[in-house]
Amino acid sequence: MASCLLISSGMVPPDGRSRVVVEHVRPQVDDGEFAVKRTVGDALIVESDIFADGHDAVAGEVLYRHALDEDWRRLPMTPAGNDRWRCEIPLPEIGRYRYTVEGWIDRFTSWRGDLIKRIDAGQAVRIEYLVGAELLDQAATRAADAEADAAQLREWAAALRGTEVAMSKQVALADEVAAMMERYPDRRFATRYGKELALVVDREKAGFSAWYEVFPRSCSPDASRPGTLRDCEARLPYIAAMGFDTLYFPPIHPIGQTARKGKNNRIAAGPDDPGSPWAIGSAEGGHTAIDPKLGTLDDFERLVAKAAEFEIEIALDLAFQCSPDHPYVRQHPEWFRRRPDGTIQCAQNPPKNYEDIFPFDFETPQWRELSEELKNVVMFWIARGVRIFRVDNPHTKALPFWEWLIGDVKDRHPEVIFLAEAFTRPKVMYRLAKAGFSQSYTYFTWRNSKQELTDYFRQLTETELREFNRPNLWPNTPDILSEFLQVGGRAAFVIRLILAATLGANYGIYGPAFELCENAPREPGAEEYLDSEKYEVKHWDWDSPRSLKDLIARINRIRRENPSLRRDANLRFHETDNPSVICYSKSSAGLAETVIVLCNLDPFHTQSGWLNLDLGSLGLDPNRTFQAHDLLGGARYLWHGARNYFELVPETRPAHIMKVRRWVRTERDFDYYL
């Protein structure tokens, strides 16, 4: 009756020969809609459930290919328990990849396992040897392109058919035979996972970088004039000495005159006020021009080349908005939103108005032309040596636009890095990361307590976010002077520096305001700087004795010399009995290196207490002494077991950054520190 129903309903039975189930493949983002992210040199760990009906053994492989590959590469998966399988894919090349999983019945392994059981039970196995011989002959056919292997498989098949029982048993159980059979599996009825998943592999700097933000117009050594790009060039040794590898400029384009903002964001500008660099565009040009007061394109290209000599890359700000004087406003008025009175809508974040800025209208009927032009801006600067862009307020532009632009640019230039400056709602921030941004600003700036920091960084490093969202931690920006820095004095700057540089593999500071510990707000309760550099030229005392530049240099050197600090996902927190002290560690692969950070979160008071380390996660023997070498202060502590005492003084020693040195016993019973 059942078969009649199938025929009458037109249903076709599935191919029952494909018996293997492949499901729950990880990692993937939003069921494969977006790409997983890694950096070159990483390994992508792929896991999947692979199983079948009955008791047959199964096998699985990961199939992966670079965008430039025509054929799949294959790597075998290994059992991880409870029908879970695992594989590590090496990633030596940047670019886009696809990957999926395939599983099949492993008939040889099934046959061999059953044979062993029959032999152990003392049963007759002559027929079983003949079955094995057929499997070897079939594998020889699949190995036709490898004549030596095919001949060897047929030779073993003949041995199984022979009359010498001992020889048959020897061949059947030989590991060499099993290894050969693994090379030529029978995939005729293999099941492939229903999706090809996306992977983006970026260059190392996407995963590990130290940014320094500076306004070129404030780099002049002469207080009587604003700075230029040539002055920035003279600052390169200073920035390199602190150990930064990325020098980020706010917009360097001509600044509009109409509705120009004055000092401290006043609506009316004075005749000497330079205006906000984010009010881009004037009669002198727009997004592909350089403010003549800063220099020329030749000066810029010279600066890019000179920075490279110091192993520093120049990052430019992508602020897709215009001053009322931008050439686009005259040439393409259709790219801007009009109000009922015919005027163009300025940028707004009620109750704030940004009278000096016109946002683009991404819903314009000419959206395609607008998008192409903005991509041309990016390509213009790439042609002049720029490979890193910090994107201003990307959450105020169309999300599909970013997915298209970043995808198209990285198809041509996979080495390009995009940092999203998106202090916005979490779901919007994470969608930008999914859309392709290489790095993202975070809420670190406002996470101050031990509980806040622990909860937030566990979310960043232990959830799905770790697969696509790379945090870049900034203690301050030109827009944000946090309350902690306003009230905590010099110790607060040291604390936030250490946290940013060690909690995250990517971090940055807005300098020299940061190293000089500038902490005066425009008004009580505000996060804006008093006399903000956004609206005026500053003249900094770069050589001030109160500068943190030497400490910054030491911390950046510690980051470079300890590979465990170059990653995010290896972050582990440890218990302290003092709520004002946080402890966490990072370990390199195989626990070859471990760094433990112990930081006082209170900038006013000495804090002491007991640390309780998770020794298992650190690979430490609870019965052995280990040395904790403080890379900041140079002291060395001998610790034994999980529980150890600490005391941290905010003014002089608010934190330890400790490298663990383990006891190693040699064959001659000589102990030494590793």
Q: Could you list the active site residues?
A: 392, 421
Q: What's the longest Cα–Cα distance across the chain?
A: 105
Q: Are 618 and 587 in contact (CB under 8 A)?
A: yes
Chain centroid to CA 346: 35
DSSP code at position 521: B
Strand partners, 127: none
Q: What angle do CA 132, 136, 142 make, to 5 degrees?
A: 145
- 535/362 Cα distance (integer angstroms): 28
Phi, psi of 478 (to 5 degrees): -60, -25
Closest CA relative to residue 41, chosen from 90, 88, 1, 96: 90
Beta strands 358-359; 321-322: pairing state? antiparallel
Residues in the chain: 674
Residue 212 near residue 237 (C-beta atoms within 8 A): no
DSSP 173: H
Question: Which element (helix H / strand E) includes 602?
Answer: none
Q: Which whole-number Å values give the CA distances from 482 to 349, 402, 471, in the listed order?
A: 20, 29, 18
The answer to whether residues 360 and 288 touch, using CB atoms and an 8 Å cutoff, is no
Residue 29 to residues 26, 197, 280, Cα–Cα distance (Å) = 9, 9, 36
Alpha-carbon torsion (98, 99, 100, 104), positive or negative: positive
**CB 102, CB 61: distance < 8 Å:** yes
Across 406-559, the runs of DSSP E, i.e. the strands, are 417-421, 439-440, 472-473, 506-510
Cis peptide before 27, with omega less than 30 degrees from 0?
yes
Per DSSP (E only), the strands in 163-252 are 191-192, 197-202, 209-213, 246-249
607 closest CA partner among 584, 643, 585, 579:
579
Give me the sheet containing 417-421, strands edge to edge: 439-440, 417-421, 388-392, 313-318, 246-249, 209-213, 506-510, 472-473
What is the distance between the alpha carbons of residues 423 and 432, in angstroms, rounded to a whole number? 11
Strand partners, 74: 63
Find all residues with CB under 8 Å of 52, minimum gap 6, and list them.
19, 20, 21, 58, 103, 105
Phi, psi of 256 (to 5 degrees): -70, 155
Q: Which of helix, strand or coil describes residue 22?
A: strand
3-class DSSP assignment, residue 331: helix
Report the half-sphere exposure of 371 (CA within 13 A, side-chain side): 20
Q: CA–CA distance from 162 to each of 133, 138, 572 (Å)?
A: 10, 18, 59
Please name which of 112, 92, 119, 89 lies closest in space to residue 101, comparing C-alpha atoms. 89
Alpha-carbon span 642 to 244, nearest angstrom: 35
